[in-house]
Structures are given as C-alpha cells and as structure tokens.
Amino acid sequence: MILEEQAQSSRRQARQQQQLLDLKAELKKQELRQQAVQAQVNVLLKERNGS
C-alpha cells in the first residue's frame, strides 16, 4: 500500500515537472517572439524618423 502511494506521488511529481518544463519552454518562445516584434517596431520607427 505504501509503495503504491509512493509510486503515485512519484508519477505526480514527474508530471508536474514536465508541465513546468513545458511552461518554461512556452515562456521562452513568447519572450523571443516579443523581442522579434520589438525589433520590427524599432526598424519601423527608424524608417519613419529617417524620412
């Protein structure tokens, strides 16, 4: 009985760890997308101010 509870707990921890990694990866993707958008905005502003 105790072993089964430990196994369930271990599986739950592994699942939560994977969810955390997935969220971190998603956050990184969003940050990179944000940087790309910011770079585009900067280019557009320079073009507008240059003309």
| One-letter identity of residue 21 | L
Burial (CB < 10 A; 0-12, 13-18, 19+), residue 45, is exposed
Q: What is the model's pLDDT at position 51?
A: 67
Q: What is the model's pLDDT at position 18?
A: 99
Estimate the share of the chain in helix, then strand, then coil, as percent rounded to the nearest 5: 95, 0, 5
The C-alpha R_g of the chain, in whole angstroms, comes to 22
Q: What is the model's pLDDT at position 1?
A: 79
Q: How confident is the model at residue 17 (pLDDT cuts 50, 70, 90)?
A: very high
- Dump pLDDT digits (tens) for 22-38: 999 999 999 999 999 99
* Cα within 13 Å of Cα(27), Cβ side: 6
| pTM beyond 0.75, yes or no | no
- Percent of the chain residues past pLDDT 70, beyond the cut: 98
